[in-house]
């Protein structure tokens, strides 16, 4: 408290001196000190004028440009930050108080990631053991799509600070984006150790397990999400989805109903419930669930394809056509939709069109065995 009071008194003394003698010798130094003391008190706006005055009188002082850049950074004036710090670097590129880190942050905030990366790369020469600079450089590389270098920088940051939550989290995301799903899982596990109730970490971990077809582990991660946020319809719906994948259709239906109670307008819950009902063999009961999902989300691809399948399995062949065609409009390479359309054609006695759909299916996914293939084998129809 005494130090703050002393700073305030010093500010008033300097201001008085500047008013009394506008042509004060070494006025630039007095102005810069005034600006610095104002920043010490967090008075960022007030600090701008004396620092600008100092620069006008002594434009080649890199330290004042750096200090003014810091003031602008506090005020989120990033264009001004860049201008002042670039001038500071131009005047003294080897300065001991390197401004490269701050410059990189402002360039990144402006979306100028190539320049930000170069600033961080230069800054690392001064701060090789600074985990923050390595982390920020990783972020810039990620924005530029340079994922191998992004991962390398996050790993360097974690070597210096293993408990950096954000670096662990971004490393997990970067591994996932580059298709390294096992490595991503390990990174998410480390992230969870640092923050045991992290919803994003458990949610992403469940998705990584799902990508690898490890549905039991995906279910476990989804259950942790529900533990942390039990009133989330999404978390209950995710559990239901993984139970469907594991063949526990009764369990999936129960969780989907819970999700519906939490949010009656949640389309995924109705789609998941429809899938569970089909798994239990009740295709007719599944139809209204898919229709409800589509009421809330008209272009819901999975609901359209599943609705068509439910119609088909219920013997309502013609009703299946409209959702199939809409699915193909939304996703022309949807294998399941083309397969169902071929099955409908075959049921309607149009074998040439059925074979045309079979060729499309084979071109999209070799080895796919769907409803059309089963019908063709039963019908003993050979493609010519």
- State yes or no: pLDDT of 96 exceeds 70: no
DSSP string, 283-338: HHHHHHHHHHHHHH-TT-HHHHHHHHHHHHHTT-TGGGHHHHHHHHHH-TT-HHHH
* pLDDT value for 1: 67
| Kind plus residue range of the DSSP H or E element containing 179 | none
Q: How sure is the predictor about 384, in pLDDT bands with cuts at 50, 70 and 90?
A: very low
Distances (CA, A) of 70 to 47, 82, 117, 362: 11, 10, 19, 61
Is 284 among the domain residues?
A: no
pLDDT in tens, 8-62: 877 888 788 777 777 767 888 988 988 898 999 999 999 999 999 999 999 999 9
pLDDT in tens, 147-196: 999 999 999 999 999 999 999 999 999 999 999 999 999 999 999 999 99
Mean pLDDT of 333-357: 94
* pLDDT value for 172: 97
- State yes or no: pLDDT of 289 exceeds 70: yes
* pLDDT value for 301: 97
Residue 325 half-sphere exposure, CB side, CA atoms within 13 Å? 7
The residue that leads in pLDDT, 65 or 23, is 65
Is 293 among the domain residues?
A: no
Task: Report the alpha-carbon distance of residue 149 to residue 302 in Å, rounded.
Answer: 37
pLDDT in tens, 293-305: 999 999 999 999 9
Is 174 among the domain residues?
A: yes
Is 19 among the domain residues?
A: no
Q: Are 69 and 48 in contact (CB under 8 A)?
A: no
**Average pLDDT of the residues of the chain:** 92
The DSSP letter of residue 382 is P
pLDDT in tens, 211-258: 999 999 999 999 999 999 999 999 999 999 999 999 999 999 999 999
- Residue 95 CB contacts under 8 Å (≥ 6 apart), including other chains: 62, 63, 66, 88, 89
Domain that holds residue 198: 165-228
Is 253 among the domain residues?
A: no
Is 368 among the domain residues?
A: no
Is 362 among the domain residues?
A: no
| Token pair recorded at residue 107 | 């360039």
Is 187 among the domain residues?
A: yes
User: What's the structural domain count of the chain?
Assistant: 1
- Domain CATH number, residue 194: 1.25.40.10
* pLDDT value for 8: 83
Reduced to 3 states (helix: H, G, I; strand: E, B; else coil), residue 146 is: coil
C-alpha radius of gyration, the chain, whole number: 31
């Amino acid at each position: 408290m005494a130090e703050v009071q002393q700073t305030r008194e010093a500010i008033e003394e300097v201001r008085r001196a500047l008013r009394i003698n506008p042509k004060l010798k070494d006025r630039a130094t007095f102005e810069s000190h005034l600006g610095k003391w104002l920043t010490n008190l967090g008075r960022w706006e007030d600090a701008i004028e004396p620092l600008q005055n100092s620069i006008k009188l002594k434009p080649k002082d890199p330290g004042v440009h750096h200090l003014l850049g810091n003031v602008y950074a506090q005020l989120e004036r990033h264009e001004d930050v860049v201008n002042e710090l670039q001038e500071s670097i131009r005047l003294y590129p080897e300065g001991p108080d390197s401004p490269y880190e701050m410059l990189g942050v402002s360039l990144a905030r402006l979306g100028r990631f190539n320049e930000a990366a170069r600033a961080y790369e230069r800054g690392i020469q001064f701060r090789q053991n600074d985990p923050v600079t390595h982390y920020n450089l990783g972020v810039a590389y990620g924005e530029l799509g340079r994922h191998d270098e992004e991962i390398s920088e996050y790993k360097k940051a974690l070597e210096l600070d293993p408990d950096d939550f954000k670096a662990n989290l971004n490393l997990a995301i970067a591994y996932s984006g580059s298709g390294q799903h096992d490595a991503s899982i390990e990174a998410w596990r480390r992230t969870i150790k640092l923050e045991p109730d992290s919803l994003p970490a458990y949610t992403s971990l469940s998705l990584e397990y799902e990508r690898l077809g490890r549905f039991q582990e995906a279910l476990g991660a989804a259950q942790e999400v529900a533990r942390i946020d039990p009133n989330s319809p999404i978390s209950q719906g995710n559990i239901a989805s993984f139970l469907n994948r594991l063949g526990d259709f009764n369990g999936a239906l129960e969780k989907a109903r819970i999700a519906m109670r939490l949010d009656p307008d949640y389309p995924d819950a109705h789609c998941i419930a429809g899938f569970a009902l089909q798994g239990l063999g009740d295709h007719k009961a599944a139809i209204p669930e898919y229709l409800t999902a589509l009421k809330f989300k008209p272009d819901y691809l999975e609901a359209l394809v599943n609705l068509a399948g439910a119609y088909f399995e219920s013997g309502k062949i013609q009703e299946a056509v409209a959702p199939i065609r809409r699915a193909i409009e939304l996703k022309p390479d949807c294998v399941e939709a083309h397969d169902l359309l071929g099955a409908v054609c075959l049921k309607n006695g149009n074998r040439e069109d059925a074979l045309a759909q079979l060729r499309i299916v084979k071109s999209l996914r070799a080895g796919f065995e769907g409803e059309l293939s089963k019908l063709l084998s039963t019908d003993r129809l050979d493609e010519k």
